Amino acid sequence: EVQLVESGGGLVQPGRSLRLSCAASGFTFDDYAMHWVRQAPGKGLEWVSGISWNSGSIGYADSVKGRFTISRDNAKNSLYLQMNSLRAEDTALYYCAKDWFGELLGWFDPWGQGTLVTVSS
Partner 1 sequence: QSALTQPASVSGSPGQSITISCTGTSSDVGGYNYVSWYQQHPGKAPKLMIYDVSNRPSGVSNRFSGSKSGNTASLTISGLQAEDEADYYCSSYTSSSTLYVVFGGGTKLTVL
Of the residues 16, 65, 76, 87, which one makes contact with partner 1 according to CB under 8 A? 65
For residue 9, state whether it binds partner 1 (rule: CB under 8 A): no
- Give the nearer residue to partner 1 in terms of CB position, either 17 or 107: 107
Classify residue 88 by burial, with Cβ atoms within 10 Å: 0-12, 13-18, 19+.
exposed
Of the residues 35, 81, 90, 92, which one makes contact with partner 1 according to CB under 8 A? 35
- Give the nearer residue to partner 1 in terms of CB position, either 80 or 108: 108
Gap between the Cα atoms of 3 and 12, Å rounded? 27
Q: At its nearest, how many Å lie between partner 1 and the CB of residue 49?
A: 9
Please name every residue paired with 97 in a beta bridge, in sequence order, or none if there are none: 35, 111
Gap between the Cα atoms of 76 and 71, Å rounded? 12
For residue 23, state whether it binds partner 1 (rule: CB under 8 A): no
